[in-house]
Amino acid sequence: MAKPRMSSIDGKLAQEFAVPAHVEEIKEKMAAFAGHHAAAGRRVVLITSGGTKVPLESRTVRFLDNFSSGRRGASSAEYFMDSGYAVIFLHRHRSLYPYTRMFSNINMLDALKFSGGASSNSGEVVVNQQVLPDIARALRRYQEVKEGKLLLPIEFSTLSEYLHLLKAAAQALSAIGSKAMFYLAAAVSDFYIPASEMPEHKIQSSNGPLQLSMNMVPKILSPLVKDWAPRAFVISFKLETDPTILLDKARRALDAYRHQAVVANVLDSRRGYVVVVTPETQAELIISDEDVKNDVEIEERIVSNLTSAHNKFITQQGG
């Protein structure tokens, strides 16, 4: 078998971004997971979720971050598994997680009590289901997922970790061809400071106002599509604050990287309206007020749209 072509970004990753410990071990684990499920006739989706941290010092005290909580990635993972996919969940450390995401704003101690009542300090601890509505349903589904080994969680924190783990995941899933999907929902920084230019110690405020010069992060979508997993079905996300430029930027991304779809959304309306853009189509997905009352989420519509598109893609690729 021919070795994958080495791109210029491969060299840049090796030179400027520290390789996480055990990345090869994680890559083997992902490859085994994908191979097992593909052999069972199941498709595999790699979901990236949460934001990337960009250190400003080698011994990091300060860093640049973004607001992403990982909500879209975590909820999408649930809907993909409901649709028959196995999920590799490449997520930011402490970002939202499938099945626990809906309880993230609840103080867990308020949801627990002793079976003997408030005055008891012994006996079994039980769940107050009034505080944690739907906990039984979430627990039941999570246990089904665990028993089926449908979810493989992989954590990242920094931009460097994310880039190397995404490359490893792409190479691991390359072997299953068109049965692999990449759902790149993570909020990835556009800028970074190379390790060679980063101060070792904490930047001192006594030195006066801080001026930073940051490099552009390599566009990793290009080698992923062309070199690392060329037969996979790849979806990127485009978030803007200016709706007038959104669709044009989505189209330009498809032209530049030749992947299969862009999920385009505007910051203020992202939970109720997105546009799935492909080279041939443009589908508006909307959550109405009635949908909200019935607990319908936009991610359910996104996943439904993309699984249908993946079906067609696999047929076109010959299975």
23-39 and 159-173 are packed helices; what angle lies between their axes, rounded to 10 degrees?
40
Whether the pLDDT of residue 4 is over 60: the answer is: no
Q: What are the φ and ψ backbone dihedral angles of 135, each rounded to 5 degrees?
A: -65, -35
The whole-number pLDDT of residue 121 equals 65
Residue with tokens 């979806």: 235
Tell me if 99 sits within 8 A of 66, measured CB to CB: no
Residue 3 lies in a domain: no
* Number of domains present in the structure of the chain: 1
- Alpha-carbon gap, residue 104 to 96, rounded angstroms: 7
Pairing of strands 112-114, 86-92: unpaired
- Alpha-carbon gap, residue 132 to 299, rounded angstroms: 22
Residue 246 lies in a domain: yes
Distance, C-alpha 15 to centroid of its chain: 25
Q: CA geometry: angle at 43 spanning 156 and 146, to 5°?
A: 60
**Longest Cα–Cα distance in the chain:** 69
Whether the pLDDT of residue 214 is over 90: the answer is: yes
The whole-number pLDDT of residue 35 equals 97
Whether the pLDDT of residue 196 is over 90: the answer is: no
pLDDT band at 1 (very low <50, low <70, confident <90, very high): very low
Residue 304 lies in a domain: yes
Residue 76: how many other CB atoms lie within 10 Å: 26
The β-bridge partners of 55 are 63
Residue 25 lies in a domain: yes
Residue 106 lies in a domain: no
Quick: pLDDT tens for 81-136: 999 999 999 999 999 999 999 999 999 999 998 887 666 666 788 999 999 989 99
The whole-number pLDDT of residue 2 equals 45
Residue 2 lies in a domain: no
Quick: pLDDT tens for 14-73: 888 888 889 999 999 999 999 999 999 999 999 999 999 999 999 999 999 988 999 999
Residue 174 lies in a domain: yes
Quick: pLDDT tens for 147-165: 999 999 999 999 999 999 9
- Alpha-carbon gap, residue 157 to 165, rounded angstroms: 11
Quick: pLDDT tens for 239-286: 999 999 999 999 999 999 999 999 999 999 999 999 999 999 999 999
The whole-number pLDDT of residue 19 equals 87
The whole-number pLDDT of residue 207 equals 87
Range of the domain at 242: 8-97+133-203+212-317
Q: Is 211 helix (H, G, I), strand (E, B) or coil?
A: coil
How far is CA 316 from each of CA 95, 109, 311, rounded to the nearest angstrom? 36, 52, 9
Question: At 77, which CATH number?
Answer: 3.40.50.10300
The pair of structure tokens assigned to 48 is 């990236």
Residue 84 lies in a domain: yes
The whole-number pLDDT of residue 16 equals 84
How far is CA 63 from each of CA 37, 92, 227, 240, 281, rounded to the nearest angstrom? 38, 15, 31, 23, 39
